[in-house]
Chains A and B, each alone.
Chain A
Amino acid sequence: MKAAVLLFPGLNREGDAMRALEQASGHKPTLVWHAEHELPAGTDLVLVPGGFSYGDYLRCGAIAGRANIMDAVRAHAARGGLVVGICNGFQILCESGLLPGVLMRNRDLRFICKMQHLKVERADTPFTTAYQKGQIIKVAIAHGEGNYEADEETIRRLEGDGRVAFRYCDAQGQVGGAANPNGSTNDIAGIYSENLNVLGLMPHPENLIDPLVGGTDGRGLFDSVARFSAAA
């Protein structure tokens, strides 16, 4: 799998993302600076990592979402190429128009940094074949703006078309109520684009790939994309 990891000033999770991709695929990803106009030839997957691009000025992801490289990412996505945005990367994908909706301030106004259970809504997309449908995974969350909002019509479409990727839940898989850390609409932690080739999620699977640091539930996502790219 040829993966490109985007780098904007202020991101800080690119190292974790690159380690996770290399562990899953055996290939070192290429780091691509935001001012570039093109992705490396033959790129299978673009990963937009987390952090605080441009200091979260204006709105989270707003400035990065309009960078030069995002035109190339949009073209890659339009060709059916895989794109995944994690945390600030999810916010950047929403601001760039690759995913609908917006990530608003957490309901309780606090930056939340903790372990969180998620429910895998479907296991038949390029990002989730290494999971089971309905599987409960435990990964980390670390964000101040993870409260997913969109207009009613968009939410209806996301739900109706099976485009919710992950939902916040508790250890037993109970979705909603106290298990929702940030007030996100319908407990949404991640969503897909219409063609299921673009995924955005707030949690950090790239931090849960090694038993030494608390678990390996995040591996499935990277194993899935590596498997998908190998088969393509």
Chain B
Amino acid sequence: MKARVTVTLKTGVLDPQGKAIEGALRSLGVEGIASVRQGKVFDIEIDAADPAHAEAMLKAASEKLLANLVVENYRVEIL
């Protein structure tokens, strides 16, 4: 089974990397960008066959390690 965990910065947390990318896109002439926030994507292969079990396991993994809940949110998708 394949899954994807997406980790993003919470609203209001300053993201200097996103700001720099936003500036770079503007200077490249890419039009219509209002703002950029940078996050992380984890593509994960899991042994479990039961999607509900896999989701619970990945939620635990996200809270234990993949995301820092002080500043980040996470989303688990079973693909």
Contact = CB atoms under 8 A, between A and B. Distances in A.
Nearest to B71: A102
B16 A106 contact: yes
B26 to A, nearest CB: 16
Place the interface of chain A in its size category.
20 to 34
Contact of A149 (B17, B64, B71): B71
A62 B65 CA distance: 7
A109 B14 CA distance: 12
Contact of A109 (B13, B17, B65, B68): B17
B14 A150 contact: no
A62 B63 CA distance: 12
Interface string A39-63: 0000000000000000000110011
Contacts of B70: 94, 100-102, 149-151
Nearest to B42: A58
A109 B38 CA distance: 14
Contacts of A107: 14, 16
Interface string A16-50: 00000000000000000000000000000000000
Interface majority SS on B: helix, strand, loop or mixed?
A: helix
Contacts of B14: 104, 107, 147, 149, 183
Contacts, number: 37
B20 to A, nearest CB: 6
Interface string B13-25: 1101100100000
The residue among B13, B64, B71 with the most chain A CB atoms within 10 A of its own CB is B71
A32 to B, nearest CB: 22
B42 to A, nearest CB: 9
B54 interface: no
The residue among A102, A104, A149 with the most chain B CB atoms within 10 A of its own CB is A104
A46 to B, nearest CB: 22
B58 interface: no
24 contacts: A58-B66, A59-B68, A62-B68, A63-B65, A66-B64, A94-B70, A95-B68, A102-B68, A102-B70, A102-B71, A104-B13, A104-B16, A106-B16, A107-B14, A107-B16, A109-B20, A147-B14, A149-B13, A149-B14, A149-B71, A150-B70, A151-B70, A183-B14, A183-B16
Interface of B: 13-14, 16-17, 20, 64-66, 68, 70-71
